[in-house]
A = this chain, B = another copy of it.
Amino acid sequence: MERVETIAGARSLLGRARSEGLTVGFVPTMGYLHEGHLTLIRKARESCGYVVASIFVNPTQFGPGEDYETYPRDPERDAALAGEAGADVLFCPSVREMYPDGYATYVTVEGMTTKLCGVFRPTHFRGVATVVAKLFNIVDPDLAFFGEKDYQQLLVVRRMAADLNMRVRVVGVPTVREADGLAMSSRNVYLNQSERAAAVVLSRSLEAARRAHAAGERRAAELSGLVRRMIEAEPLARVDYVEIYGLPDLTDIELVDGPALLALAVRFGKTRLIDNTVLP
């Protein structure tokens, strides 16, 4: 695996790969890789001749008071893991390389970004859409792989790529979970032992809603209420939101009579976790 830190360097490697006719798969990450990221890289490896992963803790998607400075980083371990999972290139640009002096351009996706996490993190998806647009233009991938754990992010990126007529196909990959059901996240390391134990309520409550839906419950408020009550029964949990929206554009719905996203964000101490399930 080659490691490259400059945009020009990444372009040069990619130009060579494309001139050999290789399909390019891309996995953008913020590093501190876990099994979820590695699953994305392996998926890319299965379907593409050339696999690029990137690690960039993107400052523009963190709000004031969020954990940009303290976001966990371990570049050497990340490089070893990405290589084992099948990446051909690891692109790790500096903040200055991505946002040089005078930088002024932002990409926004309207509508869906003012819901769910967008309410609590008003500039987050603008940062995501902007950095992903930049990375897509640098890597010019045929396929790009995103985890469904950040489902709203997946929808925003897919909408942005389609709206801006990018040729990339955005592929969603199911959430990878710990043995007890907790969705893998780089932020799980923030949890202390009792918070870690309590956090299992997230996946369990989503599972309960899936069963209620399978048993015939279609009222969105009932399904989200069921999840909320289960989480609120956990003393260490503080709910930011538990909501259901229609897919793919996060439309308001009262009845789940087509594909819908049941998503939640919950704080355990200072750690904010998200999870979701798609109701068919």
Contact present for A105 and B137 (CB under 8 Å): no
Chain B residue at minimal CB-CB distance from A108: B106
- B107 A112 Cβ-Cβ under 8 A: no
Tell me the A153-175 residues at the B interface (CB within 8 Å). 159-160, 163-167
Identical chains in the assembly: 2
Digitize A240-279: 1 where CB-to-B-CB distance is under 8 Å, 0 elsewhere: 0000000001000000000000000000000000000000
**Complex Cα distance A159/B166, Å?**
19
Chain A interface category by residue count: 20 to 34
Other than the given A103-B163, A105-B110, 7 more pairs (CB < 8 A) read A11-B167, A104-B111, A104-B249, A105-B109, A107-B108, A107-B164, A137-B166
Q: Which residues of A contact B (CB under 8 A)?
A: 7, 11, 102-112, 129, 133-134, 137-138, 159-160, 163-167, 249
A-B contact pairs, 14 of them (CB 8 A): A7-B165, A11-B167, A102-B159, A103-B163, A104-B109, A104-B111, A104-B163, A105-B107, A105-B110, A105-B159, A105-B164, A106-B107, A137-B167, A138-B165
